[in-house]
Amino acid sequence: MRVKRYIVDSMPEALDKIRIDLGQDAIILNSKPIKTGGIFGLFGKQQIEVVAAVDEKEAEKPKRTPAQPSREPIIRAAAANPTAAKRAYQSMAADALANTVAETVAPPDPIVLADAGSVTVRERAPLTAQGGEQSALTRTVNQEDAAQAPRSQEAGGKPAAAAHAGSDQLAVEVRHMRQMFEKLLTSDSRQQLPQPIQTVRDRLLQQEVTEEAASEIIRQLIMEAEPGWEAAEAVKRAEELIIQSLQKAVIEPVGIESNVRYAFFFGPTGVGKTTTIAKLAANCMLKEKRKIGFITADTYRIAAVEQLKTYANILNVPFEVVFSPKEIPQAMERLSGCDLVFVDTAGRNYRNDEYVQGIRELVVADQNSLNFMVLSLASKYSDMRTIIRNFGDVPVSRVIFTKADETEAYGAMLNVAAETNFSISYITTGQNVPDDIIVATPRLIANMIMGE
């Protein structure tokens, strides 16, 4: 571990230095205000002392350049030192906001900004920008229309051909629209999107929605766009579109249906499988009065067995440990008096073909089992994709997203809904058992993605 001490004027300054020196995996161990210079501690300058550390192996990895700021160190800092992290985050967020405002909202005329009634004027600024973009858009279409005009007029000149002309006109318009979409959706012409739609696109990408999933929503928004739309209206409409697109992916009311006897949980180590099982089990037991049992196949770490056993003891439910999939039927037999058995698996085993095959045979054999994939929202979407692919052999039908409290980007839920047949069932929001779990609904997810 490499530890470094910094004396800085502000937290953003410290974060920049830490990122350059120690890389993005550094964590902030401590930060405190100090006085530097002066005599006997008097008349000194108020500064901040920040102590940061990084695992040596992490430090050797290529460092992110300061030109690509990342929120990761701040999130890590939040775990290590909430107060310092919060201060840093607020300061950085304020900077980012100031930059965004300067880039996107600042109207061309400085007099407008200097106006004392700046609130109203600033609020109207995007509208002006949008008006401009909108007319540019209309202009493009009109110019192309003009080019087509002679042909249309010829057709229009013959009364018998009027209906034909109408459908020709429609075909031309459809063709124009398609060309316009294509133009709008290519990345180098992003700037041409009307401002309200651009706001939606920025939001989706910031939420880590993939380009493909975002384009789908943007495409529909463009079709529906009304002249004079403000950003808020576009955002609201986008939220509705997300809700619609999630209708298939989120079954309501979710929960674990009463005919389900076995609920299996798969996913990488540390995503929160065991904690989530404990939350669900407690709820099923306390609210639905079901007789619960636990099986753990996660024998890789002693602590993992102990962890589920502790929950079993707290809830006073029977608990079985299996060392191979072959032992699961006997364990199930011993738990035959239970209405619902939660089966916890080890994350590392998803690479073990034999293990996955064993699980696969077992779950296919039993029609009353439900397979949950557990994914952490705090992980990268590309990693989620790999995990989903590795579990391709297991008939997973539901997905639970964990650690919503550790990130501000929820787009992965939309991506998973677009790219898999999984039903999104729950979202977990913290470490507290049994409280920090909520049923996923399309509205909730859409709101998490598009809301402020």
Min. distance of Cβ 372 from ligand GDP in angstroms?
Answer: 11
Residue 130 is inside which H or E element, if any?
Answer: helix 118-157
Q: List the Cα angle 366/371/377 in 5-degree steps.
A: 175
Residue 405 touches which member of Mg ion, ligand GDP, none, C-beta under 5-8 Å by kind: ligand GDP
| Cα distance between residue 417 and residue 420, in whole Å | 6
Tell the smallest beta-carbon distance from residue 346 to ligand GDP (Å): 8
Site mask for Mg ion (CB under 5 A), range 295-334, x = bound: ---------x------------------------------
φ, ψ of residue 280 in degrees (nearest 5): -65, -40
User: How far apart are alpha carbons 36 and 3 in whole angstroms?
Assistant: 21
Q: Which is nearer to Mg ion, 25 or 298 (CB)?
A: 298
> Closest approach of Cβ 384 to ligand GDP, in Å?
14
Residues in contact with 158: Cβ distance below 8 Å, sequence separation at least 6, in sequence order: none
Give which of Mg ion, ligand GDP, none residue 210 binds (C-beta under 5 to 8 Å, depending on kind): none
Tell me which of Mg ion, ligand GDP, none is bound by residue 275, counting a contact when its beta carbon lies within the kind-specific cut-off of 5 to 8 angstroms. Answer: ligand GDP
Residue 322 Cα distances to 264, 273, 332, angstroms = 13, 17, 10
- Alpha carbon 149 to chain centroid distance? 47
Partner whose binding site includes residue 436, from ligand GDP, Mg ion, none (CB under 5 to 8 Å by kind): ligand GDP
- C-beta of 47 vs 428, nearer to Mg ion: 428
Nearer to Mg ion by C-beta: 186 or 431?
A: 431
Least gap, CB of 78 to ligand GDP (angstroms) = 10
Q: Is 344 helix (H, G, I), strand (E, B) or coil?
A: strand
d(CA 76, CA 126): 35
Cβ-closest position to Mg ion: 274
376 binds Mg ion (CB under 5 A): no
By CB under 5 A, the residues from 262 to 281 that bind Mg ion are 273-274
Nearer to Mg ion, 22 or 297 (CB): 297
Shortest reach from residue 250's CB to ligand GDP, in Å? 18
Residue 431: CB minimum distance to ligand GDP, A: 4
Beta bridge partner(s), residue 155: none
d(CA 125, CA 110): 12
CA distances to 55, 396, 427 from 419, rounded to whole Å, are 36, 14, 18
What are the backbone dihedrals phi and psi of residue 315, each rounded to the nearest 5 degrees, phi first? Answer: -85, -10
**In angstroms, what is the minimal distance from the CB of 135 to Mg ion?**
58
Nearer to ligand GDP, 280 or 362 (CB): 280
The site for ligand GDP (CB under 6 A) is made up of 267, 269-275, 307, 347, 402-403, 405-406, 428-431, 436
Label residue 4 exposed, middle or buried (CB < 10 Å: 0-12, 13-18, 19+). Answer: middle
Q: Which does 318 bind (CB under 5 to 8 A by kind): Mg ion, ligand GDP, none?
A: none
The backbone torsions φ and ψ at residue 320, rounded to the nearest 5 degrees and listed phi first, read: -125, 145
> Which residue type, as a one-letter code, is found at position 87?
R
Nearest residue (CB) to Mg ion, 239 versus 298:
298
Residue number, 199 or 349, with CB nearest to Mg ion: 349
Residues 6+ apart with CB under 8 A from 439: 252, 253, 254, 255, 425, 426
Residue nearest to ligand GDP (CB): 272
Maximum separation of any 2 CA atoms in the chain, in Å: 100
Minimal distance, residue 444 CB to ligand GDP, in Å: 15
Q: Which is nearer to Mg ion, 203 or 273 (CB)?
A: 273
Q: Given the rule CB under 5 A, which residues bind Mg ion?
A: 273-274, 304
